[in-house]
Chains A and B, each alone.
Chain A
Amino acid sequence: MRGPLAVALGILTAIGGFLDAGDLVTNAVVGSRFGLTLAWVVVMGVIGICVFAHMSGKVAAVSGRATFEIIRERLGPRAAGANLVASLAVTVLTLTAEIGGMALALQLASSVERRLWMPVAALAVWLVLWRVRFQVMENVTGLLGLTLIGFAVALYLLGPDWGELARQTLQPAVPPSEGAAVYWYFAIALLGAAMTPYEVFFFSSGGVEERWTVKDLATSRLNVFVGFPFGGVLSIAIAGCAAVVLLPLGIEVDAMSQIVLPVAQAGGPLLLAVVIVGLVSATTGAALETALSAGYTLSQYLGWSWGKFRRPAEAARFHVAMIVALVVAVGVLMTGVDPIAVTEYSVVFSAVALPLTYLPILVVANDPEYMGEHVNGRVLNAVGTLYLVILVVASAAAVPLMIVTEAGA
Protein backbone atom coordinates (compact mmCIF):
# COMPACT_ATOMS: atom_id res chain seq x y z
CA MET A 1 0.00 0.00 0.00
CA ARG A 2 1.18 3.50 -0.79
CA GLY A 3 -1.25 5.48 1.35
CA PRO A 4 -3.81 7.64 -0.47
CA LEU A 5 -1.75 7.37 -3.67
CA ALA A 6 -2.62 3.68 -3.78
CA VAL A 7 -5.88 4.66 -5.47
CA ALA A 8 -4.22 6.86 -8.12
CA LEU A 9 -4.68 4.19 -10.78
CA GLY A 10 -8.42 4.02 -10.11
CA ILE A 11 -8.77 7.82 -10.09
CA LEU A 12 -6.83 8.22 -13.34
CA THR A 13 -8.77 5.39 -15.00
CA ALA A 14 -12.06 6.97 -13.97
CA ILE A 15 -10.99 10.44 -15.10
CA GLY A 16 -10.17 9.02 -18.52
CA GLY A 17 -13.52 7.29 -18.62
CA PHE A 18 -15.93 9.85 -17.14
CA LEU A 19 -14.13 13.18 -17.45
CA ASP A 20 -12.27 13.11 -20.76
CA ALA A 21 -12.85 16.08 -23.10
CA GLY A 22 -15.75 14.43 -24.96
CA ASP A 23 -17.51 13.38 -21.75
CA LEU A 24 -17.00 16.77 -20.10
CA VAL A 25 -18.97 18.33 -22.94
CA THR A 26 -21.53 15.52 -23.07
CA ASN A 27 -22.18 15.86 -19.34
CA ALA A 28 -22.76 19.60 -19.66
CA VAL A 29 -24.90 19.15 -22.79
CA VAL A 30 -27.02 16.59 -20.97
CA GLY A 31 -27.38 18.86 -17.94
CA SER A 32 -28.33 21.88 -20.02
CA ARG A 33 -30.97 19.93 -21.96
CA PHE A 34 -32.23 17.21 -19.63
CA GLY A 35 -31.41 18.49 -16.13
CA LEU A 36 -30.63 15.54 -13.91
CA THR A 37 -33.22 13.27 -15.52
CA LEU A 38 -30.36 11.14 -16.92
CA ALA A 39 -28.34 10.98 -13.69
CA TRP A 40 -29.68 7.45 -13.11
CA VAL A 41 -27.77 6.32 -16.20
CA VAL A 42 -24.50 7.58 -14.73
CA VAL A 43 -25.23 5.71 -11.49
CA MET A 44 -25.99 2.59 -13.52
CA GLY A 45 -22.77 3.08 -15.49
CA VAL A 46 -20.71 3.48 -12.33
CA ILE A 47 -22.06 0.20 -10.94
CA GLY A 48 -21.40 -1.54 -14.26
CA ILE A 49 -17.83 -0.31 -14.66
CA CYS A 50 -17.10 -1.11 -11.00
CA VAL A 51 -18.26 -4.70 -11.49
CA PHE A 52 -16.23 -5.33 -14.65
CA ALA A 53 -13.14 -3.30 -13.69
CA HIS A 54 -13.13 -5.27 -10.43
CA MET A 55 -13.16 -8.54 -12.39
CA SER A 56 -10.48 -7.36 -14.84
CA GLY A 57 -8.23 -6.20 -11.99
CA LYS A 58 -8.80 -9.48 -10.19
CA VAL A 59 -7.86 -11.52 -13.28
CA ALA A 60 -4.72 -9.38 -13.75
CA ALA A 61 -3.69 -9.71 -10.12
CA VAL A 62 -4.29 -13.46 -9.84
CA SER A 63 -3.14 -14.66 -13.28
CA GLY A 64 -0.93 -11.81 -14.52
CA ARG A 65 -2.95 -11.65 -17.74
CA ALA A 66 -4.27 -8.26 -18.87
CA THR A 67 -7.72 -7.85 -20.39
CA PHE A 68 -6.93 -7.90 -24.10
CA GLU A 69 -4.86 -11.06 -23.66
CA ILE A 70 -7.92 -12.86 -22.29
CA ILE A 71 -10.15 -11.37 -25.00
CA ARG A 72 -7.88 -12.83 -27.69
CA GLU A 73 -7.47 -16.10 -25.81
CA ARG A 74 -11.18 -16.70 -25.27
CA LEU A 75 -12.75 -15.20 -28.40
CA GLY A 76 -10.11 -16.23 -30.95
CA PRO A 77 -8.53 -14.06 -33.66
CA ARG A 78 -11.71 -13.12 -35.53
CA ALA A 79 -14.08 -11.87 -32.82
CA ALA A 80 -11.16 -10.44 -30.83
CA GLY A 81 -9.95 -8.76 -34.04
CA ALA A 82 -13.36 -7.11 -34.53
CA ASN A 83 -13.19 -5.92 -30.93
CA LEU A 84 -9.62 -4.68 -31.48
CA VAL A 85 -10.62 -2.56 -34.46
CA ALA A 86 -13.68 -1.10 -32.69
CA SER A 87 -11.80 -0.48 -29.42
CA LEU A 88 -8.89 1.16 -31.19
CA ALA A 89 -11.36 3.41 -33.02
CA VAL A 90 -12.94 4.54 -29.72
CA THR A 91 -9.55 4.95 -28.10
CA VAL A 92 -7.94 6.93 -30.93
CA LEU A 93 -11.07 9.13 -31.38
CA THR A 94 -10.88 9.96 -27.67
CA LEU A 95 -7.14 10.56 -27.88
CA THR A 96 -7.79 12.95 -30.78
CA ALA A 97 -10.30 14.90 -28.68
CA GLU A 98 -7.86 15.07 -25.75
CA ILE A 99 -4.98 16.39 -27.87
CA GLY A 100 -7.43 18.92 -29.33
CA GLY A 101 -8.54 19.85 -25.79
CA MET A 102 -4.96 20.28 -24.60
CA ALA A 103 -4.21 22.49 -27.62
CA LEU A 104 -7.34 24.56 -26.89
CA ALA A 105 -6.23 25.10 -23.30
CA LEU A 106 -2.76 26.13 -24.46
CA GLN A 107 -4.33 28.52 -26.97
CA LEU A 108 -6.45 30.14 -24.25
CA ALA A 109 -3.38 30.52 -22.06
CA SER A 110 -1.13 31.90 -24.78
CA SER A 111 -3.34 33.24 -27.57
CA VAL A 112 -1.16 31.37 -30.05
CA GLU A 113 -3.10 29.60 -32.83
CA ARG A 114 -4.47 26.21 -31.75
CA ARG A 115 -3.08 24.21 -34.67
CA LEU A 116 0.44 25.15 -33.70
CA TRP A 117 -0.18 23.72 -30.25
CA MET A 118 -1.46 20.34 -31.44
CA PRO A 119 1.93 18.81 -32.29
CA VAL A 120 3.32 20.34 -29.09
CA ALA A 121 0.59 18.70 -27.01
CA ALA A 122 1.18 15.36 -28.75
CA LEU A 123 4.92 15.66 -28.19
CA ALA A 124 4.37 16.40 -24.51
CA VAL A 125 2.20 13.29 -24.18
CA TRP A 126 4.83 11.23 -25.99
CA LEU A 127 7.61 12.46 -23.70
CA VAL A 128 5.64 11.30 -20.65
CA LEU A 129 4.98 7.93 -22.29
CA TRP A 130 8.64 7.61 -23.26
CA ARG A 131 10.31 8.71 -20.09
CA VAL A 132 8.14 9.06 -17.00
CA ARG A 133 7.65 6.19 -14.63
CA PHE A 134 4.09 4.75 -14.61
CA GLN A 135 3.54 5.44 -10.89
CA VAL A 136 4.73 9.07 -11.19
CA MET A 137 2.45 9.59 -14.18
CA GLU A 138 -0.65 8.21 -12.44
CA ASN A 139 0.05 10.01 -9.16
CA VAL A 140 0.51 13.44 -10.74
CA THR A 141 -2.47 13.25 -13.10
CA GLY A 142 -4.64 11.57 -10.46
CA LEU A 143 -3.85 14.19 -7.80
CA LEU A 144 -4.27 17.20 -10.11
CA GLY A 145 -7.50 15.69 -11.44
CA LEU A 146 -8.89 15.83 -7.90
CA THR A 147 -9.29 19.60 -8.38
CA LEU A 148 -12.30 18.79 -10.56
CA ILE A 149 -14.09 18.47 -7.21
CA GLY A 150 -14.49 22.22 -7.88
CA PHE A 151 -17.57 21.31 -9.93
CA ALA A 152 -19.20 19.71 -6.89
CA VAL A 153 -18.22 22.75 -4.81
CA ALA A 154 -19.71 25.03 -7.47
CA LEU A 155 -22.97 23.08 -7.46
CA TYR A 156 -23.13 23.45 -3.68
CA LEU A 157 -22.35 27.19 -3.82
CA LEU A 158 -25.03 27.73 -6.46
CA GLY A 159 -27.53 26.79 -3.77
CA PRO A 160 -29.84 24.91 -6.09
CA ASP A 161 -33.32 23.65 -5.28
CA TRP A 162 -32.07 20.29 -3.97
CA GLY A 163 -35.59 18.92 -3.81
CA GLU A 164 -36.09 19.58 -7.51
CA LEU A 165 -32.71 18.00 -8.43
CA ALA A 166 -33.54 14.98 -6.28
CA ARG A 167 -36.95 14.69 -7.94
CA GLN A 168 -35.35 14.79 -11.42
CA THR A 169 -32.85 12.14 -10.37
CA LEU A 170 -35.21 9.77 -8.59
CA GLN A 171 -38.30 10.18 -10.78
CA PRO A 172 -36.76 10.65 -14.18
CA ALA A 173 -38.99 11.65 -17.08
CA VAL A 174 -38.29 12.89 -20.57
CA PRO A 175 -38.39 16.71 -20.42
CA PRO A 176 -41.27 18.17 -22.51
CA SER A 177 -38.80 20.05 -24.75
CA GLU A 178 -37.09 16.82 -25.87
CA GLY A 179 -38.20 13.72 -27.77
CA ALA A 180 -38.03 10.23 -26.31
CA ALA A 181 -35.61 9.00 -28.99
CA VAL A 182 -33.13 11.78 -28.16
CA TYR A 183 -33.47 11.01 -24.45
CA TRP A 184 -32.66 7.34 -25.01
CA TYR A 185 -29.85 8.19 -27.43
CA PHE A 186 -28.16 10.23 -24.70
CA ALA A 187 -28.89 7.51 -22.14
CA ILE A 188 -26.99 4.99 -24.28
CA ALA A 189 -24.19 7.46 -25.01
CA LEU A 190 -23.76 8.13 -21.27
CA LEU A 191 -23.79 4.41 -20.42
CA GLY A 192 -21.26 3.73 -23.18
CA ALA A 193 -19.03 6.56 -21.94
CA ALA A 194 -19.18 5.36 -18.34
CA MET A 195 -18.32 1.79 -19.35
CA THR A 196 -16.00 2.67 -22.23
CA PRO A 197 -13.76 -0.35 -22.85
CA TYR A 198 -10.39 1.38 -22.65
CA GLU A 199 -10.99 1.82 -18.92
CA VAL A 200 -10.66 -1.92 -18.27
CA PHE A 201 -7.76 -2.24 -20.73
CA PHE A 202 -5.94 0.54 -18.91
CA PHE A 203 -6.89 -0.60 -15.42
CA SER A 204 -5.89 -4.25 -15.87
CA SER A 205 -2.69 -3.34 -17.73
CA GLY A 206 -1.94 -0.77 -15.02
CA GLY A 207 -2.26 -3.58 -12.47
CA VAL A 208 0.35 -5.55 -14.44
CA GLU A 209 2.53 -2.40 -14.66
CA GLU A 210 2.34 -2.16 -10.87
CA ARG A 211 3.12 -5.88 -10.63
CA TRP A 212 -0.02 -6.77 -8.74
CA THR A 213 -0.27 -10.27 -7.32
CA VAL A 214 -2.94 -12.04 -5.27
CA LYS A 215 -1.75 -9.94 -2.31
CA ASP A 216 -2.91 -6.80 -4.13
CA LEU A 217 -6.54 -7.84 -4.56
CA ALA A 218 -7.54 -5.41 -1.80
CA THR A 219 -5.67 -2.59 -3.58
CA SER A 220 -7.44 -3.43 -6.81
CA ARG A 221 -10.82 -3.40 -5.08
CA LEU A 222 -10.08 -0.10 -3.34
CA ASN A 223 -9.06 1.51 -6.65
CA VAL A 224 -12.28 0.38 -8.28
CA PHE A 225 -14.65 1.39 -5.52
CA VAL A 226 -13.03 4.79 -4.90
CA GLY A 227 -12.06 5.76 -8.46
CA PHE A 228 -15.22 5.11 -10.46
CA PRO A 229 -17.77 6.53 -7.98
CA PHE A 230 -15.53 9.63 -7.81
CA GLY A 231 -15.73 9.93 -11.60
CA GLY A 232 -19.50 9.37 -11.54
CA VAL A 233 -20.16 11.96 -8.83
CA LEU A 234 -18.19 14.61 -10.73
CA SER A 235 -19.91 13.69 -13.95
CA ILE A 236 -23.28 14.29 -12.27
CA ALA A 237 -21.96 17.49 -10.65
CA ILE A 238 -21.02 18.89 -14.08
CA ALA A 239 -24.48 18.03 -15.40
CA GLY A 240 -25.97 19.53 -12.22
CA CYS A 241 -24.12 22.83 -12.67
CA ALA A 242 -25.32 23.05 -16.25
CA ALA A 243 -28.87 22.12 -15.19
CA VAL A 244 -28.99 24.84 -12.53
CA VAL A 245 -27.40 27.67 -14.51
CA LEU A 246 -27.71 26.97 -18.23
CA LEU A 247 -31.00 25.06 -18.50
CA PRO A 248 -33.21 27.93 -17.18
CA LEU A 249 -31.45 30.38 -19.52
CA GLY A 250 -32.04 28.10 -22.48
CA ILE A 251 -28.30 27.95 -23.22
CA GLU A 252 -27.29 24.72 -24.96
CA VAL A 253 -23.68 23.79 -24.43
CA ASP A 254 -21.73 23.36 -27.63
CA ALA A 255 -18.17 24.16 -26.62
CA MET A 256 -15.75 23.38 -23.85
CA SER A 257 -15.61 27.00 -22.63
CA GLN A 258 -19.31 26.94 -21.67
CA ILE A 259 -18.77 24.11 -19.20
CA VAL A 260 -17.06 26.45 -16.77
CA LEU A 261 -19.65 29.26 -16.89
CA PRO A 262 -21.55 27.93 -13.84
CA VAL A 263 -18.28 27.54 -11.94
CA ALA A 264 -17.30 31.16 -12.57
CA GLN A 265 -20.76 32.29 -11.53
CA ALA A 266 -20.72 30.27 -8.30
CA GLY A 267 -17.14 30.51 -7.11
CA GLY A 268 -15.52 33.45 -8.84
CA PRO A 269 -12.04 33.51 -10.37
CA LEU A 270 -10.39 31.36 -7.67
CA LEU A 271 -12.68 28.37 -8.10
CA LEU A 272 -12.57 28.88 -11.86
CA ALA A 273 -8.76 28.68 -11.78
CA VAL A 274 -8.91 25.49 -9.70
CA VAL A 275 -11.38 23.91 -12.09
CA ILE A 276 -9.32 24.89 -15.14
CA VAL A 277 -6.31 23.14 -13.62
CA GLY A 278 -8.59 20.14 -13.19
CA LEU A 279 -9.84 20.28 -16.78
CA VAL A 280 -6.31 20.51 -18.19
CA SER A 281 -5.02 17.65 -16.07
CA ALA A 282 -8.10 15.51 -16.77
CA THR A 283 -7.62 16.06 -20.50
CA THR A 284 -3.92 15.26 -20.24
CA GLY A 285 -4.62 12.21 -18.07
CA ALA A 286 -7.19 10.97 -20.56
CA ALA A 287 -4.70 11.50 -23.40
CA LEU A 288 -2.13 9.37 -21.55
CA GLU A 289 -4.73 6.72 -20.71
CA THR A 290 -5.99 6.42 -24.28
CA ALA A 291 -2.52 6.48 -25.88
CA LEU A 292 -1.38 3.74 -23.49
CA SER A 293 -4.59 1.77 -24.06
CA ALA A 294 -3.98 1.82 -27.82
CA GLY A 295 -0.52 0.35 -27.18
CA TYR A 296 -1.79 -2.18 -24.63
CA THR A 297 -4.64 -3.55 -26.78
CA LEU A 298 -2.62 -3.97 -29.96
CA SER A 299 0.38 -5.48 -28.15
CA GLN A 300 -1.73 -7.87 -26.13
CA TYR A 301 -3.73 -9.00 -29.15
CA LEU A 302 -0.53 -9.72 -31.11
CA GLY A 303 1.56 -11.05 -28.21
CA TRP A 304 4.15 -8.24 -28.26
CA SER A 305 6.22 -7.14 -25.33
CA TRP A 306 4.52 -4.13 -23.68
CA GLY A 307 4.48 -1.90 -20.64
CA LYS A 308 6.03 1.24 -19.27
CA PHE A 309 7.86 -0.81 -16.67
CA ARG A 310 10.14 -2.03 -19.49
CA ARG A 311 12.84 0.04 -21.16
CA PRO A 312 11.31 1.53 -24.35
CA ALA A 313 13.77 -0.51 -26.44
CA GLU A 314 12.50 -3.69 -24.75
CA ALA A 315 8.92 -2.91 -25.79
CA ALA A 316 9.69 -1.36 -29.16
CA ARG A 317 6.52 -2.27 -31.05
CA PHE A 318 4.38 -1.11 -28.09
CA HIS A 319 6.03 2.31 -28.29
CA VAL A 320 5.67 2.38 -32.07
CA ALA A 321 1.92 1.71 -31.66
CA MET A 322 1.54 4.66 -29.27
CA ILE A 323 3.54 6.96 -31.56
CA VAL A 324 1.34 5.97 -34.51
CA ALA A 325 -1.80 6.65 -32.42
CA LEU A 326 -0.51 10.14 -31.56
CA VAL A 327 0.42 10.87 -35.18
CA VAL A 328 -3.05 9.76 -36.34
CA ALA A 329 -4.66 11.98 -33.69
CA VAL A 330 -2.69 15.05 -34.79
CA GLY A 331 -3.37 14.23 -38.44
CA VAL A 332 -7.14 14.09 -37.82
CA LEU A 333 -7.01 17.38 -35.92
CA MET A 334 -5.02 19.07 -38.69
CA THR A 335 -7.96 18.54 -41.05
CA GLY A 336 -9.79 21.10 -38.94
CA VAL A 337 -12.60 18.85 -37.68
CA ASP A 338 -14.17 19.65 -34.33
CA PRO A 339 -12.32 17.31 -31.93
CA ILE A 340 -15.32 17.03 -29.61
CA ALA A 341 -17.72 16.22 -32.44
CA VAL A 342 -15.61 13.23 -33.56
CA THR A 343 -16.12 11.53 -30.20
CA GLU A 344 -19.86 11.31 -30.94
CA TYR A 345 -19.06 8.51 -33.35
CA SER A 346 -17.52 6.52 -30.52
CA VAL A 347 -21.04 5.30 -29.75
CA VAL A 348 -21.06 3.24 -32.95
CA PHE A 349 -17.75 1.53 -32.21
CA SER A 350 -18.65 1.05 -28.55
CA ALA A 351 -21.68 -0.92 -29.66
CA VAL A 352 -19.30 -3.55 -31.09
CA ALA A 353 -16.59 -3.30 -28.45
CA LEU A 354 -18.64 -3.32 -25.22
CA PRO A 355 -20.20 -6.82 -25.39
CA LEU A 356 -17.04 -8.34 -26.90
CA THR A 357 -15.00 -6.92 -24.02
CA TYR A 358 -17.20 -7.68 -21.06
CA LEU A 359 -18.28 -11.20 -22.08
CA PRO A 360 -14.73 -12.66 -22.00
CA ILE A 361 -13.95 -10.85 -18.74
CA LEU A 362 -17.02 -12.38 -17.11
CA VAL A 363 -16.21 -15.85 -18.51
CA VAL A 364 -12.53 -15.85 -17.50
CA ALA A 365 -13.30 -14.44 -14.03
CA ASN A 366 -15.19 -17.73 -13.55
CA ASP A 367 -12.40 -19.94 -14.91
CA PRO A 368 -10.70 -21.85 -12.09
CA GLU A 369 -7.60 -22.42 -14.25
CA TYR A 370 -7.06 -18.67 -14.14
CA MET A 371 -8.59 -17.71 -10.85
CA GLY A 372 -8.24 -20.71 -8.52
CA GLU A 373 -10.25 -19.95 -5.38
CA HIS A 374 -10.80 -16.34 -6.50
CA VAL A 375 -13.49 -17.11 -9.09
CA ASN A 376 -16.52 -14.81 -9.02
CA GLY A 377 -19.17 -15.24 -6.40
CA ARG A 378 -22.89 -15.52 -7.18
CA VAL A 379 -23.76 -11.86 -6.65
CA LEU A 380 -20.97 -10.62 -8.90
CA ASN A 381 -22.02 -13.10 -11.58
CA ALA A 382 -25.68 -12.13 -11.34
CA VAL A 383 -24.90 -8.43 -11.67
CA GLY A 384 -22.32 -9.06 -14.41
CA THR A 385 -24.74 -11.17 -16.44
CA LEU A 386 -27.50 -8.57 -16.03
CA TYR A 387 -25.18 -5.84 -17.31
CA LEU A 388 -24.12 -7.98 -20.23
CA VAL A 389 -27.78 -8.27 -21.28
CA ILE A 390 -28.25 -4.50 -20.84
CA LEU A 391 -25.14 -3.81 -22.93
CA VAL A 392 -26.29 -6.12 -25.72
CA VAL A 393 -29.69 -4.38 -25.84
CA ALA A 394 -28.11 -0.90 -25.68
CA SER A 395 -25.61 -1.85 -28.38
CA ALA A 396 -28.33 -3.08 -30.68
CA ALA A 397 -30.31 0.13 -30.15
CA ALA A 398 -27.36 2.54 -30.39
CA VAL A 399 -26.89 2.81 -34.13
CA PRO A 400 -30.60 3.06 -35.08
CA LEU A 401 -31.13 5.72 -32.39
CA MET A 402 -28.08 7.61 -33.60
CA ILE A 403 -29.45 7.70 -37.14
CA VAL A 404 -33.00 8.62 -36.10
CA THR A 405 -31.87 11.44 -33.80
CA GLU A 406 -28.95 12.58 -36.00
CA ALA A 407 -26.60 11.97 -33.06
CA GLY A 408 -28.83 13.74 -30.56
CA ALA A 409 -29.18 16.96 -32.56
Chain B
Amino acid sequence: MSTGLLPEPDQPGRVVDAELHLLDRQVLDVDGEPVCTVDDLELGAVGDDPDIDRPLAGDTTVVVTALLSGPVLGGVVGGRPDSSRRHRIAWRYVTDIGTAVHLGAHGEQFSATWVERWLRERVFSRIPGGRHDPEADE
Protein backbone atom coordinates (compact mmCIF):
# COMPACT_ATOMS: atom_id res chain seq x y z
CA MET B 1 0.00 0.00 0.00
CA SER B 2 2.91 2.35 0.71
CA THR B 3 6.63 2.13 1.26
CA GLY B 4 8.61 1.83 4.50
CA LEU B 5 6.45 -0.98 5.85
CA LEU B 6 7.65 -4.43 6.79
CA PRO B 7 6.00 -7.15 4.75
CA GLU B 8 3.43 -9.03 6.81
CA PRO B 9 4.54 -12.68 7.18
CA ASP B 10 2.16 -15.47 6.14
CA GLN B 11 -0.06 -16.54 9.00
CA PRO B 12 -0.82 -20.12 10.05
CA GLY B 13 -4.61 -19.58 9.90
CA ARG B 14 -7.30 -17.59 8.13
CA VAL B 15 -6.84 -13.83 8.51
CA VAL B 16 -10.00 -11.92 9.41
CA ASP B 17 -10.49 -8.24 10.20
CA ALA B 18 -12.98 -7.58 12.99
CA GLU B 19 -14.59 -4.49 11.44
CA LEU B 20 -14.52 -5.77 7.89
CA HIS B 21 -15.57 -9.40 8.33
CA LEU B 22 -17.42 -9.66 11.64
CA LEU B 23 -18.85 -6.46 13.06
CA ASP B 24 -22.34 -5.45 11.83
CA ARG B 25 -22.83 -8.71 9.96
CA GLN B 26 -26.01 -10.76 10.17
CA VAL B 27 -25.75 -13.85 12.41
CA LEU B 28 -27.62 -16.91 11.11
CA ASP B 29 -28.35 -20.08 13.07
CA VAL B 30 -27.84 -23.69 11.97
CA ASP B 31 -31.09 -23.53 9.92
CA GLY B 32 -30.18 -20.19 8.34
CA GLU B 33 -32.63 -18.28 10.55
CA PRO B 34 -31.55 -14.77 11.61
CA VAL B 35 -30.38 -14.51 15.24
CA CYS B 36 -28.97 -10.97 15.59
CA THR B 37 -26.24 -8.74 14.21
CA VAL B 38 -22.68 -8.76 15.50
CA ASP B 39 -22.72 -5.52 17.51
CA ASP B 40 -19.38 -6.08 19.25
CA LEU B 41 -16.82 -8.78 20.10
CA GLU B 42 -15.77 -9.93 23.54
CA LEU B 43 -12.01 -10.31 23.91
CA GLY B 44 -10.35 -12.27 26.69
CA ALA B 45 -7.04 -13.71 27.82
CA VAL B 46 -6.56 -17.39 27.09
CA GLY B 47 -7.63 -19.27 30.23
CA ASP B 48 -9.44 -16.33 31.83
CA ASP B 49 -12.93 -16.77 33.23
CA PRO B 50 -15.37 -15.30 30.66
CA ASP B 51 -16.89 -13.07 33.36
CA ILE B 52 -13.64 -11.21 33.85
CA ASP B 53 -13.74 -7.87 32.02
CA ARG B 54 -10.29 -6.28 32.09
CA PRO B 55 -8.06 -4.34 29.71
CA LEU B 56 -5.45 -6.57 28.10
CA ALA B 57 -2.25 -5.51 26.39
CA GLY B 58 0.47 -7.03 24.25
CA ASP B 59 1.99 -9.18 27.00
CA THR B 60 -1.11 -11.39 26.97
CA THR B 61 -2.41 -13.63 24.21
CA VAL B 62 -5.93 -12.40 23.50
CA VAL B 63 -8.68 -14.32 21.73
CA VAL B 64 -12.25 -13.57 20.68
CA THR B 65 -14.39 -15.25 23.33
CA ALA B 66 -17.87 -14.27 22.13
CA LEU B 67 -19.99 -12.33 19.66
CA LEU B 68 -22.00 -9.63 21.42
CA SER B 69 -25.44 -8.36 20.50
CA GLY B 70 -27.23 -5.14 21.57
CA PRO B 71 -27.67 -2.38 22.49
CA VAL B 72 -26.41 -1.12 19.16
CA LEU B 73 -27.30 2.48 19.93
CA GLY B 74 -24.96 2.48 22.95
CA GLY B 75 -22.08 2.89 20.53
CA VAL B 76 -23.92 5.62 18.66
CA VAL B 77 -24.53 7.79 21.69
CA GLY B 78 -20.97 7.39 22.97
CA GLY B 79 -19.48 5.66 25.97
CA ARG B 80 -19.62 1.94 26.53
CA PRO B 81 -22.92 0.08 26.84
CA ASP B 82 -23.45 -1.69 30.15
CA SER B 83 -22.32 -5.32 29.91
CA SER B 84 -25.53 -6.59 31.53
CA ARG B 85 -27.47 -5.38 28.50
CA ARG B 86 -25.37 -7.36 26.04
CA HIS B 87 -26.14 -10.86 24.85
CA ARG B 88 -23.22 -13.29 24.41
CA ILE B 89 -22.83 -15.94 21.77
CA ALA B 90 -19.70 -17.93 22.61
CA TRP B 91 -17.12 -18.15 19.80
CA ARG B 92 -17.26 -21.95 19.87
CA TYR B 93 -20.71 -21.82 18.20
CA VAL B 94 -19.36 -19.99 15.14
CA THR B 95 -18.97 -22.38 12.21
CA ASP B 96 -18.30 -20.07 9.28
CA ILE B 97 -17.61 -16.43 8.46
CA GLY B 98 -18.96 -15.36 5.08
CA THR B 99 -21.32 -12.60 3.99
CA ALA B 100 -23.10 -13.66 7.19
CA VAL B 101 -21.75 -15.25 10.37
CA HIS B 102 -23.03 -18.82 10.71
CA LEU B 103 -23.66 -20.67 13.97
CA GLY B 104 -23.82 -24.41 14.54
CA ALA B 105 -26.74 -24.21 16.98
CA HIS B 106 -30.39 -23.15 17.05
CA GLY B 107 -31.16 -19.47 17.57
CA GLU B 108 -33.64 -20.28 20.35
CA GLN B 109 -30.89 -21.21 22.77
CA PHE B 110 -29.34 -17.74 22.77
CA SER B 111 -30.56 -14.90 24.95
CA ALA B 112 -30.24 -12.54 21.95
CA THR B 113 -33.54 -13.91 20.60
CA TRP B 114 -35.62 -13.63 23.79
CA VAL B 115 -37.78 -10.73 22.60
CA GLU B 116 -38.57 -12.59 19.40
CA ARG B 117 -39.44 -15.77 21.33
CA TRP B 118 -41.52 -13.86 23.88
CA LEU B 119 -43.55 -12.12 21.16
CA ARG B 120 -43.94 -15.41 19.29
CA GLU B 121 -45.18 -17.42 22.25
CA ARG B 122 -47.10 -14.81 24.23
CA VAL B 123 -48.60 -12.68 21.47
CA PHE B 124 -48.36 -13.87 17.88
CA SER B 125 -49.35 -17.48 18.42
CA ARG B 126 -52.64 -16.25 19.88
CA ILE B 127 -53.58 -13.98 16.96
CA PRO B 128 -55.52 -15.93 14.30
CA GLY B 129 -53.20 -16.77 11.44
CA GLY B 130 -50.05 -16.12 13.45
CA ARG B 131 -48.89 -19.68 12.86
CA HIS B 132 -50.21 -19.82 9.30
CA ASP B 133 -47.56 -20.81 6.79
CA PRO B 134 -47.91 -18.24 3.96
CA GLU B 135 -46.17 -20.54 1.50
CA ALA B 136 -48.59 -23.43 2.13
CA ASP B 137 -51.47 -23.86 -0.31
CA GLU B 138 -54.71 -22.45 1.00
Determine direct contact between A and B, CB below 8 Å: yes
Chain A interfacial positions (CB closer than 8 Å to B): 63-65, 69, 72-74, 76-78, 80-81, 130-134, 299-306, 308-314, 316-317, 319-320, 369-370
In the complex, 29 of the A-B residue pairs with CB atoms within 8 angstroms, ordered by the A residue number, are A63-B99, A64-B99, A69-B26, A72-B24, A73-B25, A74-B24, A76-B19, A77-B24, A77-B72, A77-B73, A77-B76, A80-B24, A81-B72, A81-B73, A131-B132, A131-B134, A132-B134, A133-B134, A133-B135, A302-B36, A304-B116, A309-B134, A311-B131, A311-B134, A312-B124, A313-B120, A316-B116, A316-B119, A319-B124
A283 to B106, CA, bound (A): 40
Q: Does B15 contact A (CB under 8 A)?
A: no
Residues of B contacting A131 with CB < 8 Å? 129, 132, 134
Nearest-neighbour CB distance to chain A for B95, whole angstroms, equals 16
Interface size of B as a range = 35 or more
**Residues of chain B in range 76-131 having any CB-CB distance to chain A below 8 Å:** 76, 98-100, 115-116, 119-120, 123-125, 127, 129-131
Query: Quick one: which of A74, A317, A370 contacts B115, CB cutoff 8 A?
Result: A317
The CA of A305 and the CA of B27, in the complex, are separated in Å by 10
Residues of B within 8 A of A78 (CB): 75-76
B133 CB within 8 Å of chain A: yes
The CA of A308 and the CA of B135, in the complex, are separated in Å by 9
Question: Which of chain A's residues have a CB closer than 8 A to the CB of B124?
Answer: 312-313, 316, 319
Bound complex: CA A310 to CA B129 (Å): 12
A81 vs B37: C-alpha distance when bound (angstroms): 14
Question: A82 to B118, alpha carbons, bound, how many Å?
Answer: 29
Quote the shortest CB–CB distance from B77 to chain A (angstroms). Answer: 10
Among candidates B24, B33, B73, B125, residue contacting A73 with C-beta atoms closer than 8 Å: B24
Residues on the B chain within 8 Å of A132, using CB: 134
Chain A residues lying within 8 Å of B133, measured Cβ to Cβ, are 311
Interface residues of B (CB under 8 A from A): 19, 23-27, 33-37, 39, 69, 72-73, 75-76, 98-100, 115-116, 119-120, 123-125, 127, 129-135
List chain B residues, Cβ under 8 A from A77.
24, 39, 72-73, 75-76
Whether B116 contacts A312 by the Cβ 8 Å rule is no
Residue from A65, A80, A309 in contact with B100 in the complex, judged by beta carbons closer than 8 Å: A65
Q: Tell me the nearest residue of chain B to A75, going by C-beta.
A: B24
Question: Does B34 contact A306, Cβ atoms closer than 8 Å?
Answer: yes
Alpha-carbon gap, A305 to B125, bound state (A): 16
User: Quick one: closest B residue to A367, CB to CB?
Assistant: B99
A69 to B100, CA, bound (A): 10
Does A314 lie within 8 Å of B135, measured CB to CB? no
In the complex, the chain A residue whose C-beta lies closest to that of B22 is A73
* Residue in chain B with minimal CB distance to A370: B99
* Distance of A295 from chain B, by nearest CB (Å): 13
Instruction: Tell me, in angstroms, the Cα distance from A169 to B39 when the chains sit together.
Output: 50
Q: Would A72 and B37 count as touching, CB distance under 8 A?
A: yes
Q: Are B26 and A65 in contact (CB under 8 A)?
A: yes
Residues of the B chain whose Cβ atoms lie less than 8 Å from the Cβ of A319: 124
Enumerate the 4 nearest inter-chain pairs by beta-carbon distance, A residue then B residue, closest first.
Answer: A303-B37, A316-B119, A313-B124, A303-B36
A333 to B67, CA, bound (A): 43
